[in-house]
Amino acid sequence: MEINKLGDGSRIRVFVADSSRIHTQLLCDALKHDSEFDVLQCGTNSTGLIAEVVASEVHVLLISAYLDEQPMRGLHILRELRSVYPRIRAAVLMDSYKSEIVLEAFRAGARGIFSRQNSIELLAKCVRSLYEGQIWANGREMSLAVEALSNEHAIRPTNSSALNLLTKREIGIVECVAEGLTNREIADRLKLSQHTVKNYLFRVFDKLGVSSRVELLFMTLGQHSSVPDLAELLVGKDHTDGVSFALCKKAAEQDVPAAQLALAQMYWARREEPINLIHSYMWYLIAADQLSRARIKAGKSITPEQRIEAEKRAAAWLSKSRGIASASVSESQRTRSAGLLA
């Protein structure tokens, strides 16, 4: 994990989005007394908050779960923000301890929970800790998160069947995401409000155990369902210049092997430019290394007998696959020869 340290005269950019304009201003004024902080603040409402955070390259976000007079609005925004700006480190400001909000905050991508009952000095320490890559939570909050994680792991379905949990409408939403549509475009197509689309997406994220559109795309990569074949979608000529390429690149940089392989194929599709051949080969190498490590790890978790059985099945599958490919080539050659003789 990358750890940031001050020492070059730079300042920690902190963005504050509290539950009201007055609370936000008071918190900003208090934090500005610390010379290490460059404090920015949200406007009268959360509109444009994501764009402001990204444009300002904020290091640490302090956000209330309660925004725009909506109890969970802040967590919804945090979840969306992390999908486009994954390196943001956020602490959720809480008026009182509520276990369900603590869990939702962690699920939304928060790296810290801060109670308003604590001092401003402790908040400054929280900001520095988050900036340095640490988690800010007390023992009770961490225990709650660990217990929830262990329970969810026990009942979380595998990727091969997780999509079966989605309703027909939720599948429709996923299909639109796979096409690279924005929330507004999805709302227009399905005749829904943008707020309804967001709620559907949050339910989909929760059911599938993902926290962003990128994770959603690559979880569904290669799944046999009514969702389009995302491998074909991502490397198709009509998509290599659009949002799918950006999503794929972002996921590849986050060490998702399927994304790295897809990105290599995307660059190969653009091989008319020599630099793209280099990028393609680079991402093939990175994907191969990741897959090799995964193979070694999987091999260590099974018995020698199971490993031999797996190798036999792989060899049989590859032999069959290559046989089919060879037959297809031979048939193609015969067709061309017949055409020349005609």
Predicted TM-score of the model (pTM): 0.47
What's the rounded Cα separation, in Å, for the pair 93 and 115? 6
**Which residues pair with residue 136 across a beta bridge?**
112
pLDDT band for 306, please (50, 70, 90 cuts).
Answer: confident
Listed by start position, the domains of the chain span: 12-153, 156-228, 248-324
**Which residues pair with residue 13 across a beta bridge?**
38
**Closest of 53, 56, 57 to residue 74, by C-alpha:** 53
What's the rounded Cα separation, in Å, for the pair 287 and 234? 16
Q: Same CATH topology for 12-153 and 156-228?
A: no
What's the rounded Cα separation, in Å, for the pair 90 and 44? 20
Q: Tens digit of pLDDT for each residue in 279-299?
A: 888 888 888 777 777 777 777
CATH number of 156-228: 1.10.10.10
User: How far is CA 336 from each of CA 79, 96, 322, 328, rounded to the nearest angstrom?
Assistant: 55, 75, 21, 12
How many helices (H) does the chain have, and how many strands (E)?
Answer: 16, 5
Contact 204, 165 (CB under 8 A): no
Most confident stretch, 52-56, 137-141, 331-335:
52-56
| Residue-level pLDDT at 60 | 96
What's the rounded Cα separation, in Å, for the pair 332 and 321? 17
Q: Tens digit of pLDDT for each residue in 104-117?
A: 888 888 999 998 88
The CB-side HSE value for 217 (13 A sphere, CA atoms) comes to 30
Match domain 12-153 to its CATH number in 3.30.390.30, 3.40.630.10, 3.30.110.30, 3.40.50.2300: 3.40.50.2300
